[in-house]
Amino acid sequence: MRINDLLMGLVMALLGAITIWASKDFPPIARQPYGAGTFPTIIGAFLVGLGLLLSLRGWQQRGALFLWQGQVTPSHTLICLLAAITAVAGYVLLTPLLGFPLVAPIMLTLLIGWLSGGRWGMAIIVAIVASAVVWSVFALLLHVPLDLGILEEVIY
């Protein structure tokens, strides 16, 4: 989705202004005019300046504020974005409770099954094999502490 440069520029300028405001209380180093606030303030000032320039350019071009481009419909794109966000958020929130060995195959099965247009048998097989491979590489080989969740009580 294309957002008009007028809006994008204003958002950037606002981000710059917030950065300057948040940096104002950083103290300088002793006997120096510079300190921890120097660079954030410079970055913020540039963001304000360049953001306003971008806004000015967008305003002069007078295009639509929001414009959809591409062959894929906005609703399908939005659903895909939400699916990806839900998958990541679901993993983060559910893994400590249910554990990687349950969450990862379920997440993969749902995503692959949905994206492949309902080939659920293939989705389940790929999800189980892939989750086992990822578990073997990261948890067993590289010793990354992937959560076991409720399975911890079952196993130990």
Site for another protein in 76-105 (CB under 8 A): 76-77, 80-81, 83-85, 87-89, 91-92, 95-96, 104
Size of the site for another protein (CB under 8 A): 72
The correct pick among 99, 101, 102, 112 for binding another protein (CB under 8 A) is: 112
Q: Is the Cβ–Cβ distance between 55 and 11 less than 8 Å?
A: no
* Owner of token pair 């966000």: 85
1 part of the interface to another protein, by CB under 8 A? yes
Residue 151 interacting with another protein (CB under 8 A):
no
Specify the pairing of strand 2-3 against strand 66-67. Answer: antiparallel
Contact 92, 146 (CB under 8 A): no
The answer to whether 146 contacts another protein (rule: CB under 8 A) is: yes
Closest distance of CB 17 from another protein, Å: 13
* Nearest to 74, CA basis, from 1, 150, 149: 1
